[in-house]
């Protein structure tokens, strides 16, 4: 199980696992190299990969039908995830980090 890899992002971009070093602890997250969507932080690489793969529908190859969700009151319309806005770059995520749906923003 230690050799599991993250599946591609909903945008088709390759996903990578990265460590995060906090105050005396290390955690891991997965991010898309194409659209910068990222997961929450997890204690192990495996937990981060499994969460990412669940969010992306555990589909490694591109699907001909992309899952989409309208953003409603700053929440993903599919799973109601609230972490869909990067506060550092002040940019909207293109894909939900929780369920993997492409987010439709009404701007």
Q: List pLDDT tens digits, range 31-74.
A: 999 988 888 889 999 999 988 888 887 644 444 456 788 998 88
Q: Rounded to two decimals, what is the model's pTM?
A: 0.58
Q: Under 8 Å CB-to-CB from 43, ≥6 apart: which residues?
A: 27, 28
Beta bridge partners of 18: 29
The answer to whether residue 53 is domain-embedded is: yes
The tally of domains found in the chain comes to 1
Q: 67-101 pLDDT, tens per residue?
A: 788 998 889 998 888 888 877 777 888 888 878 78
Q: What is the pLDDT of residue 81?
A: 87
Encoded tokens for 26? 């290390």
Residue identified by tokens 């929450």 is 40
11 to 15, 26, 29, 63: CA distances (angstroms) = 10, 28, 18, 10
The answer to whether residue 9 is domain-embedded is: no
The answer to whether residue 47 is domain-embedded is: yes
How big is the chain by its Cα radius of gyration, in Å? 14
Residue 49 sits in which domain range? 15-104
Q: Is the pLDDT of residue 18 over 90?
A: yes
Q: Is the pLDDT of residue 103 over 80?
A: yes
């Amino acid at each position: 199980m230690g050799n599991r890899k993250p599946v591609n992002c909903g945008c088709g971009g390759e996903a990578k696992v990265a460590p995060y070093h906090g105050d005396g602890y290390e955690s891991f997250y997965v991010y898309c190299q194409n659209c910068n969507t990222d997961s929450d932080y997890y204690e192990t690489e495996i937990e981060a990969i499994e969460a990412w793969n669940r969010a992306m529908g555990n589909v490694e190859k591109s699907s001909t039908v992309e899952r989409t969700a309208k953003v409603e009151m700053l929440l993903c319309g599919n799973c109601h995830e609230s972490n869909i806005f990067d506060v550092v770059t002040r940019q909207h995520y293109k894909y939900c980090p929780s369920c993997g749906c492409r987010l439709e923003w009404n701007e």
